[in-house]
Amino acid sequence: MKIALIGVGNVGKSVLMDIISLGVCDEIALVGRNEEKLKAEILDIRDAAVLWDDNVPALSFGGYENTAGADIILYSAGSPKISDDRMKLAHDNFIVAKSIFEEVKKYNCDGIIICISNPLDVITTAAQIYSDRPTSKVIGTGTLLESARLRRLIADILDISSNSVNITVIGEHGNSCVPVLSSCRIMGLTLEEYLKEDIGADTGISVSHIQEAVKNQAFKIYAGKGYTNYGVSASACKLVKAIVNNTREILPVSSVLSGEYSVTGYAVSVPCIIGKDGIVSVRNMKLSENESEAFARSCEIIKSALINEGLPLP
């Protein structure tokens, strides 16, 4: 198993360390234009490896030719700019992604691509188009992270483990993401049922409160340290494990859709089964009327950004 990592900035370095700790591959190839930096990262890890008990996979570095033979390609390249709206990064990062994946496809035409860079849904769409591979083989980490944040938020409010909360966020990985509160289950109970069973009252948890809390979490982190890295790296590694181990987990990820949820030709996060070949299938999710309307608005934001980049979407 060979994994290639394109982009070794703050996020990429976290992904690199997490992939090493997973122990799921024989080789990790670092890919980028600054080969001196890539070489330095590898030398630093090799020093650390002397003090680790576990074996470290073979490490290499180079240009896009180093993606050849990779089973999984992790993409975390892009602008280092910080914005309160990920879509403001769309133009610069779309151009970068287009140029990179036009090069990648010369050396690798069948590896599964996992996109991490923002704006996530725009970049996932670009990766699928310009890498020239099936939609099943291009996955964005999408709202997997928002879903985790929402689980933690509800768990904190209710003072229970986040492992006991099952809920999904769909739509844009960004400000318009849609928390599907109607899907929330705790011990098999809806949120309302659990509240009545547990405390006999409503805590006042609202969709608007939840959406604001999820949306603002990333920017609280940005404000404090200048970037986010651990959560998104964990999301990427969750997908790597699902692919390598063929777990067939249903996860909310960004994928270019072909009519599902009335979306065609661009990526948005919805529940998908993830297995050894990437996306096995897109799963339908029952939404309330309000959730359906919010999802449609979220999709329009992604679609508009892509049209602005010249993509002829239906």
How would you write 34-50 as a 3-class SS string?
CHHHHHHHHHHHHHHHC
Residues of the chain with pLDDT > 90, as a percent, come to: 75
Q: Does the bond joining 119 to the residue before it have cis omega, within 30 degrees of 0?
A: yes
Q: Which residues contact 18 (CB under 8 A, 6 or more apart)?
A: 233, 234, 236, 237
Average pLDDT of the segment spanning 268-279? 98
**Averaged confidence pLDDT in the chain:** 91
Q: How far is CA 216 from CA 166, 254, 297, in A?
A: 21, 20, 19
- Condensed to tens digits (0 to 9), the pLDDT of residues 212-264 reads 777 777 778 888 988 889 999 999 999 999 999 999 999 999 999 999 999 99
Q: Which of the given ranges, 48-57, 58-67, 74-83, 88-97, has the highest pLDDT on average? A: 58-67
CATH number of 2-140: 3.40.50.720
Q: Please compute, for residue 25, the number of CA atoms within 13 A of its CA located in the half-sphere on the CB side.
A: 26
Percent of the chain with pLDDT over 70: 94
Note the pTM of the prediction, 2 decimals: 0.94
Q: Where does the pLDDT of residue 85 fall: very low under 50, low under 70, confident under 90, or very high at 90 and above?
A: low
The pLDDT, as a whole number, for residue 192 is 80
Q: Please give the Cα distance from 172 to 87 (Å, whole number).
A: 10
| Catalytic residue ranges | 173
Q: 83 pLDDT band (50/70/90 cuts)?
A: low
Q: Where are the domains of the chain?
A: 2-140, 144-308
Residue 84 has pLDDT above 60, yes or no: no
- Can you name the residues that pair with 27 across neighbouring β-strands? 2, 58
**pLDDT given for residue 110 in this prediction:** 96
Class of domain 144-308: alpha beta
Q: What is the pLDDT of residues 186-212, one digit of tens each?
A: 989 988 888 777 766 565 666 677 767
Q: Cα torsion for 10, 138, 34, 102, to the nearest 10°?
A: -150
116: Cβ–Cβ under 8 A, 6 or more apart, which residues? 11, 15, 74, 75, 76, 140, 141, 232, 235, 236
Give the residue with greater pLDDT, 223 vs 80: 223
